[in-house]
């Protein structure tokens, strides 16, 4: 009797499982380079969080930042092409000369919206020359919370790091701030 019940239960469970005809592959539509960077940041953040104290965390942050910097320079070749982002702010500043400061947020989650206050995001800080009419004209049409597609290059500091000086080691992986030069930016008109 037990063998018959086991056979019926096994047949039932196999019949209820997903069939190969119904499996749909779920893909992330974001660019491969963006996903590679996000994956590396998540892994570095896990190593950082696993440390017992600030000494270990500081060492993990230094090592992780070097690994992320190398990934950006070598794997991504310092480029971002058509990455979805959200405009956080656009400011015109006039010291020491007139320029435009742009802060973009690249959401680390697949499904993002305009409300990023509680979400992990990569921050791209870009300084745009006021005389760069191509980028300036594109920025004129944008406002805070607009979804955009951005391309450009990560700017390396003298130490070979793309990290902005304002990046605290406690936020280096879950909310990193990178120096970035925008080469193209357009409003994202696709529906999510």
User: How does pLDDT run across 53-86, given as a tens digit for each residue?
Assistant: 999 999 999 999 999 999 999 999 999 999 999 9
Is the pLDDT higher at 28 or at 7?
28
**Dihedral over Cα of 58, 59, 62, 63: its sign:** negative
Q: What is the pLDDT of residue 1?
A: 47
| Cβ atoms of 174 and 41 closer than 8 Å | yes
Q: Which of 4-13, 43-52, 97-106 has the lowest mean pLDDT?
A: 4-13
Q: Residue 19: pLDDT above 90? A: no
C-alpha 112/C-alpha 147 separation (Å) is 10
User: How open is the CA angle 87-169-89, to the nearest 5 degrees?
Assistant: 15
The answer, yes or no, to whether residue 22 has pLDDT greater than 80, is: no
Backbone angles phi, psi at 44, to 5 degrees: -65, -35
State both tokens at 100. Answer: 């435009």
Q: What angle separates helix 32-49 from helix 54-70, to the nearest 10 degrees?
A: 160
- Residue 118: is its pLDDT beyond 70? no
More confident of the two residues 117 and 171: 171
Amino acid 175: pLDDT: 92
Cut 0.75: pTM above it = yes
Per-residue pLDDT at 7 = 44
Per-residue pLDDT at 119 = 72
Enter the tokens of residue 143. Answer: 């406002």
Query: Residue 112: what pLDDT?
Result: 59
């Amino acid at each position: 009797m037990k063998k018959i019940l086991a056979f019926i239960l096994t047949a039932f469970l196999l019949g209820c499982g997903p069939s190969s005809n119904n499996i749909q592959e779920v893909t992330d539509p974001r660019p491969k380079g963006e996903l590679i960077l996000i994956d590396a940041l998540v892994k570095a953040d896990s190593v950082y969080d696993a440390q017992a104290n600030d000494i270990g965390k500081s060492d993990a942050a230094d090592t992780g930042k070097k690994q992320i910097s190398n990934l950006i320079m070598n794997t991504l070749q310092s480029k971002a092409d058509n990455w979805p982002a959200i405009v956080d702010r656009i400011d015109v500043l006039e010291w020491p000369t007139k320029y435009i400061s742009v802060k973009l947020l690249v959401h680390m989650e697949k499904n993002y919206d305009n409300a990023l206050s509680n979400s992990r995001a990569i921050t791209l800080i870009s300084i745009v020359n006021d005389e760069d009419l191509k980028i300036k004209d594109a920025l004129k049409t944008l406002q805070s919370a607009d979804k955009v597609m951005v391309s450009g290059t990560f700017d390396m500091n003298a130490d070979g790091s793309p990290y902005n000086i304002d990046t605290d080691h406690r936020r280096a992986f879950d909310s990193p701030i990178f120096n970035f030069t925008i080469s193209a930016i357009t409003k994202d008109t696709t529906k999510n």
